[in-house]
Each structure stands twice: as C-alpha cells, then as structure tokens.
Structure 1
Amino acid sequence: MLNSADKRRFHDIAVRWNGDFGDVSVQTAASYGWDHDPDAPNERRVVAAASLFHNPTGLNLSLGASSRIDGPKQVYIRAGWRTDLFDVDTTSLSVDWFRGCDFVTDGSRTKSYGLYAVQSFDALSLDVYTDWRRFICSDRTPTRYQNANGVLLGARWFF
C-alpha cells in the first residue's frame, strides 16, 4: 500500500541473466507485474529487454519491449558504436527507434527516433553529449498533431 487509504496491492517478479558468448557480452531481463485493486479491474504487465556488446569492435545493440495486458504496448531498439575516434578518449555514437501503441488514447500511435553522440574526456572527468530526436503521434480522433524535433546539448562532470 502506498498510503492507508489506498487499497491496491502491487506485485512484481523479475529474472535477469548476464554472460558472455565469446566476444559478445549479453545482459537480459524480463519481468511480470500485476496490481490488485479491489475497486477496479486488475492490471498486468510484461517487460523484457536484452543488450549485446561486441567487445573487439564496440558495436552494441539493445532491444526492449513492454505491454500492459489489454493496454499500451511499446518496442525500443538502439544500435551503437563505442570507439576511440579521437586521441582524448572514448566516443559513443548511437541511433534508436521507439514505437508505442494506445498510450494517449485507444488506437493512438507514437513513434520517435534519434541520433546521439557522447565524447568522454577521462582526464577531466567530463562527458560532452548531444542528441537529436524526432517525435510523431497520431490517433483516431479528429485532432492532428504536429511532429516535433528535440535537440539536447550538455555536459556531465564527475566529481
């Protein structure tokens, strides 16, 4: 219970596995959750994700999916490359894609995709990053949504 007036009960179970297949490091996770609400239908959800990293080349791939049973669903994919493009330290480049269904309203479709770059400067304890992201949304209502773009520039200083 989150507070004494809230009669819902929340339950989750998860499994994880990490290991290596030759030069490829693998991380996986899956979970199932359900909420018992005495005053409403119970909610159930399933989530699964996996990441692969090829150690010699720095190529990597992450996949994730989730679904609330009889509700919103989503899929996410990210592909990247971690390398030393410059003499300063590690450069990380990636692209990703997301698709969601039924988040805003029944029948709604959300999509987004993006490009990312991070440059590490270990001697300065600093990461500098930038990304561009495109957002797209549609549903069955007469409302038409404008697509949107987002740009992020930033730095993270470790101390």
Structure 2
Amino acid sequence: MTHKLKLSSVAIVLGATTAAPAMAELKYENNSGGYVQLYGQFDPVIVSVDDGAETETRLLDNDLSNSRVGLRLMQPYGANEFMFRFETGLGLPSTGSANQNGTNTNGWTREDIRHVDFSLKGGYGKFSAGQGSMASDGAAETDLSYVGTALYSFTNDENGAFFYRDTIGVLSGITVGDSASNFDGGRRGRIRYDTPDFNGFSAGIAYGQNILSSSDDDDYYDIALKYRNTFSGGVEFAATVAYAVRDFDGVSGEQKDTIGSASVLLPSGFSFTAALGSRDDTSTGASDPDYWYAKLAYEGDWVSWGKTGVGIDYFDGSDFENTGSSTKAWGVAVVQRIDSVNTDAYLKYRSHDFDDTVNFDKNEAWVLGALWKF
C-alpha cells in the first residue's frame, strides 16, 4: 500500500477558512428597496481514498459544495420582485476530477457556470429563465439535519472518479460514480414556473437544455412537489417528490427518473432523513437502477463555538452499472459550526462496496474539510 500525504495540508485546509476573519455582508441597498449582493464560499478538503491496494491523499476542492462566487441583484417592480443571479464555480482541482491516474487541473471552463438566471416573483408565483436549477434540483436531497453539510444522499462527492480495483489488484473501468447516484435534478438553460406557497405546499415545472455542453443536445423537463412545515411542539418536516425526463437527441428512447426525499427534525436534536429513486431508461442496452437511502443524525450545542452535528447513513442501490449489480455505501460524519468565522469544519468517513460479475475491493475515503461562506 502506498501513501501520498503532505502534513502541511491540514493547516492549509483549516487555516484558509477558520483562521480568516469574519467578513461583513457584501450587500448594497438602494433607496427603492432593491439591493446588489456579492457572495461566495470556499470548501477545501483533504481527501484520502483507499482502493484496497493503494491510498491516494490530496488537497482538493470539495465537489459536494464547490468553491464559488456569485452576484444577486434584486429590484422591486410594483407588486413584483425582479431578480438577476450570476454564480460560477472557481474551477479549482476538485474531488470530482481526481482518481488513481491524477487530478484534472485544466482550470475554469464554461461548465463551471452555475447560474445566469432572471426571475420575476409575485402573488402568482415565480417565473425563471436562464441557466439555473430545474424543478427537480434538490428533490432527492431534502435534509433538515445539520450534518447534511457533509453527509447526504449523494454518496460519491469525495471519490466519484476513482476506479474500483478487483481482488487481484487490477483497476477496472468502473468508477465509484458509475455505481451509485441519487438521480437528483441538475441545472440547465431552462424556463421554469413555481407556484406560490399553499399551507406549506408548492410545485414547480421546468423545461431546459444543457446549453453549457456542446455534446449534449437532449431535452430535459421535470415537475416537482414540495412540502415544508413546523408543527406544534417544534417538530419540523420537509419532503419533495419529482419526476424528470431526459429525451435523447438522435437516439431512440428516454430516461425517466422518479425521486423523493423526506426529513424530520425533532426538538431533541434528533433527525431522520430518507430518499429513494428509480430510473426507467428505454434507450438501447440501458439498465434500470434504483436505490434507497437513510440517515440518522443528532445536533446540539456542545461547545461554545457553535452547533455540532453528527450522523450515520446507508445507501443501497441495484443495477447501476449493469443489470444484477449491487452497491452498498455507508458513512459517518461530524460537522462543527464555528460561528465567529462563519465556517463549518467537518470530518467524514465513507465506504463503498460494489458487486458485479467481477469481485471488487471496497473503496474507502476519509475527508477533512472546512466550508467558509461570505
């Protein structure tokens, strides 16, 4: 087993965030009720991945919630509210581009653009147009737990590009990311409508295309229903269900995803989160994977710095790479809030176990990071 580690990386990750002074909100208001706001975040991590034969340890940007900057402009327009939002990732070497063969260091590309979004909101709801979230974005990730900063239903952020290694030591062509997904919706160049809130219920519908990729001419459309409420006694509950379709261009068939998630947070600090999803892919030779996910978490004020969250989760998936394959993943994490510098420091362990026609070693990852927002 080989190890590659720079001990100074620990200081870099935490020093770049937790040692930084807290920044005042970069928000500038005008005399008519509007504002311009600059915001962003940095999320450096040390990731150590063990594929059963070798261990790779690197300092990277966390794909779970990548480093980014953004700008919001809001202006009241009669009884309406006009919003423009621009947001982009910084293109730093990330956990999503690192594997046994190295790390992609190509830097920023147009696919790092997250939002170029215009919206108009009023009593009728909200209309949106431009690059931004589809209606199903977040539908598999409804999560009220504080540990959700590090531990949630998408289990591949820390090692998704790493290849599984078979039991005789040979790297396969199957990555951790190939073997699991929560089918959550993405961002597209889209038009979208969201209803007003009715006693905690709301719905959204969208149609879009992947305008940031020259190789994707498919059509995407989806619909989502959300509910969120706080009941007497302080019990919080949230849930989302969504149906999303990818209509392939030039290829027969469609990809249809049905996803849902729910989370409950009790006044005691305990929370339970669950998600599930299935995919019906009618294109030639495609499998129809499905999964379920569950997490138990607890949060409390244990130290004076800020809230602490801990949790353990489990993912069970079938038919992701090939029909008959099986994916099991579990993880445990702790997240510590540091209020004075608006930072969440976290430590996570994740294990992936994938079974197919070939036996593979487990792929295990440790993640130490800090998410700082301004």
Match of 1:135 among 352, 360, 372: 352
**2:361 is matched by which residue type in structure 1?**
Q
Structure in which a larger fraction of residues adopt helix: 2
- Is 1:63 the counterpart of 2:274? The answer is yes
**1:106 is matched by which residue type in structure 2?**
T
Q: Partners in 2 of 1:158 and 1:10 — Cα distance?
A: 31
Percent of residue pairs identical: 27
Structure 1 equivalent of residue 365 of structure 2: 150
- Is 1:13 the counterpart of 2:228? The answer is no
**2:324 is matched by which residue type in structure 1?**
G
Match of 2:304 among 82, 87, 97: 87
Shift of 1:7: 6.0
Q: How does 1:1-150 map to 2 (within 5 A)?
A: 1-2=209-210, 8-22=218-232, 23-37=234-248, 39-54=251-266, 56-69=267-280, 71-139=288-356, 141=357, 143-150=358-365
- The Cα offsets for residues 61-102 of structure 1, whole Å up to 9 and x where unpaired, read as 111111002611111111111101122211000101011111
Moved more, 29-38 or 18-27: 29-38
Q: Partners in 2 of 1:156 and 1:36 — Cα distance?
A: 36
- The Cα offsets for residues 110-146 of structure 1, whole Å up to 9 and x where unpaired, read as 111011001111012222110111110001x1x2100
Q: Partners in 1 of 2:216 and 2:367 — Cα distance?
A: 39
Q: Partners in 2 of 1:2 and 1:125 — Cα distance?
A: 34
Structure in which a larger fraction of residues adopt strand: 1
Shift of 1:9: 2.7
Shift of 1:44: 1.5
Change (3 A) 1:158 1:33: closer
Instruction: Give ranges in structure 1 of 5+ residues lacking alignment.
Output: none
For normalisation by structure 2, the TM-score amounts to: 0.39
- The Cα offsets for residues 30-81 of structure 1, whole Å up to 9 and x where unpaired, read as 0112233463122221001101111x21111111111002611111111111
Matched length: 156
Q: Which has the larger radius of gyration?
A: 2
Structure 1 equivalent of residue 139 of structure 2: none
Change (3 A) 1:6 1:154: closer
Change (3 A) 1:9 1:127: closer
Q: Partners in 2 of 1:126 and 1:5 — Cα distance?
A: 38
Q: Partners in 1 of 2:316 and 2:264 — Cα distance?
A: 21
Instruction: Give ranges in structure 2 of 5+ residues lacking alignment.
Output: 1-208, 282-287
**2:262 is matched by which residue type in structure 1?**
A
Helix, strand or coil at the partner of 1:64: strand
Helix, strand or coil at the partner of 2:251: coil
For normalisation by structure 1, the TM-score amounts to: 0.88
> Relative contact order, CA 8 A, sep 6+: which one is greater?
2
Helix, strand or coil at the partner of 1:123: helix
Moved more, 92-101 or 19-28: 19-28
